Amino acid sequence: MKKGFLLPAIVMTLAACSRTSDNPLLMPQTNEYDVPAFDKIEMCHYRPAFDKAIADYRAEIDAIVNNPDEPTFENTILALERSGSLLSKVGGVFFNLLETDGTDEMNALAEEISPLLTECSDDIILNEKLFTRVKAVYDGREAAGLTGEDLRLTEEKYRGFVMNGANLDAEKKKRLREINKELSLLSLRFGQNVVAETNACQRFVKDETELRGLPESAKQAAAEEAEAAGHKGEWLFTPKRTSFTPVLQYCENRELRRQLLMDYTTRGNHDNENDNKSVINRTMRLRTEKAHLFGFDCSADYILQDAMAHDGKTAYNMLMQVWEPALNAAKRERAELQALLNEDLPGEKLQPWDWWFYSEKLRKAKYDLDEEQLKAYFKLDNVRRGAFALAERLYGIHIEPIEGLPVYHPDVETFKITDSDGSLLGIFYTDYFPRSTKRPGAWMNNIRDQYVDANGVNHRPVIVNVGNFNKPTSDKPSLLSMDDVETLFHEFGHALHGFLSQCKYSSLAGTNVPRDFVEMPSQLMENWCYAPQVMKTYAFHYETGEVIPDSLIKKIEAAAKFNQGFVETELLSASILDMDYHLLTEVDTIDVNRFETESMERMGMIPEIIVRYRSSFFNHIFTTGYEAGYYSYTWSAVLDSDVFHAFVETGDLFNKDVAARLRKEILSRGNSEDAAVMYRNFRGRDADPKYLLEKKGL
């Protein structure tokens, strides 16, 4: 009987979901800020929405191709720019949720959708008639008198076609389609494997004496995690950074430290169904083959042709200039830590799982600075408020919470960003806590880019900041580490880059800039987060409400350059490993572990430090579009250090004139002009790397 009643209900639900007329992903939004109706979107809405959006996109392209009029900027370039808007809307929602709430159903649908999207993209970019029209406008751009963003858009559209195969012959185009489709699936599989490996690894501790030295807050969080997993009275630790980092820093149990670090660094490398080594092999073979199709020796040169660095060798050489002083600093730090280890364990050699523990001890001994003590002043809500207050002070904007907007998860909070004249700059979502369906790390996503439509209406962006910070416990709010504080400021810097955008075209707006420039605005925000004037706007003791005392601020300032050899060596080694993969000119079979080892040996990596991201869970370069681009964090660090010095030179870290020029020349401009030109317009010269080396104490 029950089955008989259920079946019609299921059929009715599926039928309702298949209708486009009431699909919330396809309907105009009825809320005040035109944000997605997350409260109405169901799993069954996505596939029909994608099918409709792809069909509309193809029809829009056909209309451009079949236009009998001579190609012009308006009927070709601008029409192309405005096509696919529905697909952007649907994809902006789906792919944000895939990363933040990637259920099995979402992952399965992604595997269906990704080849369709790749095929659609290839059909457009490899459409010879369409490219003929684009090229005609590009060739006639000077005669047509195109200037400003219209000229930039024309050049970028043409370059995009060429970089994606429009000039290839028929045989190479066919092979390119096959490569792109397979790469899209490999990227999905890599990320899914990392999430599965992270979730599958659970290490329970039954005896509290094994946790000697671990702060009570970390123990409480681990106990609550264990109870939620059905192991009341035990403590659960996982490869999530919020779980294992306190153990590495404070726990006296050396074996537990080793186990947890190995759990983290061996994800995707276990010769099981989630092993990523074969995915890496196939990915690199295809990327290298793709570069060869375009006449490049290696994938780095193909990928970076439109970046500030322009080619792999330039990026690699920049990394090596910073690598040597960073490695030398790390070796000096190693000697100090080995001396501390000798006091506890005479004759033992410092290991990677000892570095965090003894560096925390050394920080306490040298500067009397205990990061666990600092966490009490870094309540998540207050830190976020401090980042907001900084942006308000610099740029004259206003940020306030909004109640009642639909969200995709109960952890998500919503805010409205307005300019000094009260006009809307954008809608901001924050999603800060880990869950099993969320990928590790922290990032910013555009659910919608800023753009101006045909009627002159300036559509403002919808942006989300995602993190994996400590969740509140039963008696404590979410308290951040110093690294977490920097991460929050960093990701909010990306968001600001999007909110301050004032471009005509969405493909040029906000963070749609070269990868080795996009990290500059985000890393710039980190320069302020520990400035005393800024800290006193957010660092309040979560129990007493007391503002952080000057004595603690002085300790933070004194320790600012502490352990920077380790930090930079860990980062740079990952960047160089990325480049080593993408500078390969031929790929047959890669022994991933051996390749890593040889890469570390060539750069002279000391064994006491493990590369920040080992290949098998290096999401940046195998899933998120940072392939041959992880160097951009260091490249951008040179830029952000130099930009911050523009404030320092005035003696006023909040100099409104400098902030106004920065907003005008860079933050509002997106990719409307060459990044190097925009930088020189702001600074009057190219960036000087000395400010980065000085800041890091290198």
Match 């792919």 to its residue by tokens: 95
Which stretches of 205-273 are DSSP H helices? Answer: 216-228, 241-250, 254-265
CB atoms closer than 10 angstroms to residue 343: 9
Distance CA 42, CA 573 (A): 43
Residues near 483 by beta carbon (within 8 Å), at least 6 away in sequence:
none
Distance CA 274, CA 200 (A): 10
CB atoms closer than 10 angstroms to residue 203: 17
Q: Are 480 and 470 in contact (CB under 8 A)?
A: yes
Q: Are 632 and 626 in contact (CB under 8 A)?
A: yes
Distance CA 626, CA 303 (A): 10
Q: Are 149 and 504 in contact (CB under 8 A)?
A: yes
3-state helix, strand, coil in the chain (%, to 5): 60, 5, 35
Distance CA 87, CA 57 (A): 7
Active site residues: 491
Distance (Å) of CA 48 to CA 16, 84, 94, 235, 302: 11, 16, 12, 44, 35
Which residues in 17-53 are b (16+ Cβ under 10 Å) and which e?
beeeeebbbbeeeeeeeebbebeebeebbbbbbbebb
Question: Residue 617 burial (CB < 10 Å; 0-12/13-18/19+)?
Answer: buried
What string of H, E and C letters represents the secondary structure of 499-529? HCCCCCCHHHCCCCCCHHHHHHHHHHHHCCC
Residues near 450 by beta carbon (within 8 Å), at least 6 away in sequence:
426, 458, 459, 460, 461, 498, 499, 501, 502, 503, 506, 509, 510
CB atoms closer than 10 angstroms to residue 621: 25
417 has which bridge partners? 399, 426
Q: What tokens were used for 454?
A: 């045909």
